[in-house]
């Protein structure tokens, strides 16, 4: 199991959080491949923690659906199934569309400006061919809106779904980007709905912003088969 030696570990967190955060990141970005066996001893040494936090991290990662543990045998990274794309994106679209609808009635001018600034950063990342920065900025744009809806359940489920969607995105963003500008324009439509306090328009614009990339990613994976 190859484990990078030059990674930057998060500071001032518990051993369990350190293990969870780093192993999750390696699974999401493909450092740890689907089907790969995870070795407690190797991860313990690489992360500088005891085996107990590694085991605790495995338990949480299993709840998230990122690993599968077979008692007394082994722990492996779960696979990424094409059929999951529709389930993940459609569920996230419903959650975020609902969040946008609520946020449209609560958002302040300062918060709208924050979204404008984030979309400008996103557009710059797209135009300067920085796909991973674009992905992170896009996620931050959506996270702000989810937080504005003031619903901890939406936030929790959204975070869980984003972890799995991010695994697909890492595959997607390794390919030439030919439609990401559409996301910039869709963000503009979402912001306009907020400026107009139009909850229905915010709902529809947000839903479109997530369903379109779902279809594109589904088509992209079809080309691999």
Each of the 225 residues of the chain gets a pLDDT tens digit; together they read 666 655 555 455 688 899 999 999 899 888 898 889 999 999 999 999 999 999 999 999 999 889 998 877 899 999 877 778 888 999 999 999 999 999 999 999 999 999 999 999 999 998 998 887 888 899 999 999 999 999 999 999 999 898 888 887 775 555 544 457 899 999 999 999 999 999 999 999 999 999 988 887 777 767 655
194 in a structural domain: yes
* Nearest of 75, 117, 115 to residue 202 by alpha carbon: 115
Please report which helix (H) or strand (E) contains residue 52, including its range.
helix 51-63
Say what the pTM is: 0.79
Total domains, the chain? 2
What's residue 31's pLDDT? 87
**Any idea what DSSP says for residue 64?**
T
Question: Do 130 and 32 share a structural domain?
Answer: no
Edge-first strand order for the sheet with 74-77 is 37-38, 74-77, 67-70
Tell which residue, 182, 176, 189, 171, has the closest CA to residue 116.
189
Same domain, 115 and 215: yes
Same domain, residue pair 166 and 213: yes
The reported pLDDT for the residue numbered 225 is 56
Residue 121 placed within a domain: yes
User: Domain check: are 152 and 114 in the same one?
Assistant: yes
Domain, as residue range, for 30: 15-77
Could you give phi then psi for residue 76, rounded to 5 degrees? -125, 155
Task: Render 66-92 in DSSP notation, one character per residue.
Answer: SEEEETTTEEEEPP--TTHHHHHHHHH
């Amino acid at each position: 199991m190859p484990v990078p030696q030059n990674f930057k570990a998060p500071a001032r967190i518990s051993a369990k959080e350190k293990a969870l955060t780093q192993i999750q990141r390696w699974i999401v970005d493909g450092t740890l491949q689907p089907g790969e066996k995870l070795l407690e001893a190797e991860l313990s040494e690489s992360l500088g923690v005891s085996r107990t936090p590694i085991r605790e991290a495995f338990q949480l990662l299993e709840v998230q659906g990122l690993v599968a543990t077979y008692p007394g045998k082994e722990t492996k990274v779960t696979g990424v199934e094409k059929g999951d794309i529709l389930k993940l994106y459609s569920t996230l679209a419903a959650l975020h569309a609902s969040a946008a609808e609520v946020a449209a009635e609560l958002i302040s001018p300062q918060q709208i400006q924050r979204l404008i600034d984030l979309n400008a950063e996103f557009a710059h990342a797209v135009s300067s061919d920085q796909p991973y920065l674009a992905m992170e900025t896009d996620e931050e744009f959506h996270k702000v809106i989810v937080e504005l809806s003031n619903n901890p359940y939406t936030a929790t489920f959204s975070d869980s779904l984003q972890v799995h969607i991010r695994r697909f995105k890492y595959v997607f963003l390794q390919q030439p980007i030919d439609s990401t500008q559409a996301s910039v324009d869709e963000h503009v439509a979402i912001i306009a709905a907020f400026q107009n306090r139009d909850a229905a328009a915010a709902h529809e614009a947000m839903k479109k912003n997530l369903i379109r990339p779902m279809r594109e990613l589904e088509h992209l994976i079809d080309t691999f088969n």
